[in-house]
């Protein structure tokens, strides 16, 4: 299975897609109405030409609608990596990979995810990042040298699992 997205697809896990759908639902059902209420309240202040609250609320409305459109378009292009497609013999999108960072002598575990759901604080590493891209296709026991913005990094792959 190739992990390269085709037709501008967004490769992600089911959890990532569920998170996008939840964010979209929140924007449509809660945020959109909160902003509409702010616009309604601001209109009651009178003259709209000098009404900062109205201008701010209208600006936020534009941002919210833009974000809704962006998420809807992204969701239409998502290609979910099924758990059954996540390999454990080589690193790919959806894999959890435990590596030994040879420079800093520390063991780190990452989940390789699509770029739309990357979150380095939670060890979710984008398949398009230098390290994510460098780890894709590697196997347990292999040492991988990856060019990163600050030079290069060496990782020994210790474990790959779902």
The whole-number average pLDDT for the span 21-32 is 96
Residue 93: closest CA among 7, 13, 16: 13
Q: Are 139 and 132 in contact (CB under 8 A)?
A: no
Topology match between the domains 10-80 and 83-161:
no
The band of 4, judged by pLDDT with boundaries at 50, 70 and 90, is very low
DSSP state of 35: H
Residues 75-121 have pLDDT tens digits of 999 988 887 777 889 999 999 999 999 999 999 999 999 888 899 99
The band of 1, judged by pLDDT with boundaries at 50, 70 and 90, is very low
CA triplet 94, 147, 156: central angle to 5 degrees?
55
Q: Are 125 and 113 in contact (CB under 8 A)?
A: yes
Rg (CA), the chain: 21
**What is the reported pLDDT for 2?**
43
Gap between the Cα atoms of 90 and 97, Å rounded: 9
Element (H, E) at 38: helix 32-43
Topology adopted by domain 10-80:
Helix Hairpins (1.10.287)
SS3 category, 85? helix
pLDDT averaged over the chain? 89
Q: How do beta strands 143-148 and 124-126 pair? A: unpaired
Kindly list the domain boundaries of the chain, sorted by start residue: 10-80, 83-161
CATH entry 3.10.50.30 includes domain 83-161: yes
Residue 146: closest CA among 105, 93, 106, 102: 102
Gap between the Cα atoms of 111 and 97, Å rounded: 6
Residues 129-151 have pLDDT tens digits of 999 999 999 999 999 999 998 89
The whole-number average pLDDT for the span 62-81 is 93
The band of 3, judged by pLDDT with boundaries at 50, 70 and 90, is very low
Gap between the Cα atoms of 158 and 141, Å rounded: 6
């Amino acid at each position: 299975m190739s992990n390269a997205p085709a037709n501008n697809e967004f490769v992600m896990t089911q959890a990532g897609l569920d998170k996008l759908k939840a964010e979209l639902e929140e924007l449509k059902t809660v945020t959109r109405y909160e902003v509409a209420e702010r616009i309604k309240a601001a209109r009651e202040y009178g003259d709209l030409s000098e009404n900062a609250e109205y201008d701010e609320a209208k600006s936020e409305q534009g941002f919210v609608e833009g974000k809704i459109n962006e998420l809807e378009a992204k969701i239409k292009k998502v290609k979910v990596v099924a758990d059954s497609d996540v390999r454990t013999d080589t690193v790919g999108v959806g894999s959890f990979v435990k590596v030994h960072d040879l420079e800093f002598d520390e063991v780190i575990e990452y989940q390789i995810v699509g770029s739309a759901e990357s979150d380095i604080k939670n060890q979710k590493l984008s398949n398009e990042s230098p390290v994510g891209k460098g780890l894709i296709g590697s196997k347990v026991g292999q040492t991988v040298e990856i060019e990163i913005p600050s030079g290069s990094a060496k990782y020994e792959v210790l474990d790959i699992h779902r």
